[in-house]
Amino acid sequence: MILDLIPTTLRMATPLGFAALGGIYSERAGVINLALEGMMLIGAFGYVVGTQATSSTEFGLLVGLGFAVGLALLHAVATVTFHAEQVVTGIGLNILALGITESLLPTSKQVDGLPHWQLPFIGSYSFMVYLLPVVMVASHVLLFKTPWGLRLRAAGESTEALAALSLSRTKWQYLGILLSGLLAGAGGCFLASEVHYFTKGMTAGRGYLALAAVIFGNWRPLSGVSACFLFGFATALELANRWNIPVQLLNSLPYILTMIVLMGFVGTSRPPASLGK
């Protein structure tokens, strides 16, 4: 019975996983990113708009990623260049994304989904489901095994180390935020691709769940994405509901689980030393 939930768990965890990886890049560079929700939403919107305009899912994916990176650039300009309060900026960008997508809501016409790959013993899923573990492992290696990752992490840990190497903290923070937009946008594109259309507020708090996974995973790619699979499994239980559990309880299960996880682990998590400073 549990095995029957695996396909749904994979589909539910994939957008969260991409967004969580995006949050890790931004926060490892020292910038709090509450705008993951808005980046996912604008990415989903861009995917549907681009695909409707050209009947090309590849072009739709590029448009969605571009929209999300554009929102990330606004976040970087506001917080890094003009030193705006990071939490307030992130919430403001979420509201902006919601307003833009609601006022320019695409038609109800369905769009094609991203290509699916059939792999032996695994099944047929969007190529992004298979891409997530690759990006997860690559992010771990990049952040913790290369000089590039050391410099990005120094932007969030030790500004003195960057200064000693004559490196610009602004540059590395911009890079971290833009990567967060790219990855969160990929999660939004996947979400729209799976349902084949766009609806108002379709991310439904997934960006915040991804941020909780970042904290639960101690700002590390492997454990952060693993937390996303836990949240994805909770959502799969909600959708299956084979045990006649009250629907109100199941609908709130992913968010209840998030609160339990945060209460149990946030005290032991160690954020980057200069996060938010």
Lowest mean pLDDT among 26-40, 122-136, 179-193: 122-136
Residue percentage of the chain with pLDDT more than 90:
58
Specify the pLDDT at position 109: 77
Count of residues in the chain: 277
Q: Taking CA 228 as the corner, what is the angle to CA 225 and CA 234, rounded to the nearest 5 degrees? A: 155
Specify the pLDDT at position 204: 86
* Contact between 37 and 203 (Cβ < 8 Å): yes
Which element (helix H / strand E) includes 118? strand 116-119
The model's pTM: 0.91
E-assigned strands of 179-224? none
Specify the pLDDT at position 6: 81
Specify the pLDDT at position 231: 83
Lowest mean pLDDT among 170-174, 181-185, 253-257: 253-257
Query: Does 227 have pLDDT greater than 60?
Result: yes
Specify the pLDDT at position 72: 98
Neighbours of 92 (CB within 10 A): 18
Amino acid at 113: G
Lowest mean pLDDT among 129-143, 178-192, 259-273: 259-273
Amino acid at 118: Q
In the chain the domains, ranked by start, together with CATH numbers, are 3-265 (1.10.3470.10)
More confident residue, 75 or 242: 75
Name the nearest CA neighbour of 201 among 46, 69, 37, 61: 37
Q: What is the mean pLDDT of residues 231-247?
A: 67
More confident residue, 25 or 255: 25
Query: For residue 274, what pLDDT band results from cuts at 50, 70 and 90?
Result: confident
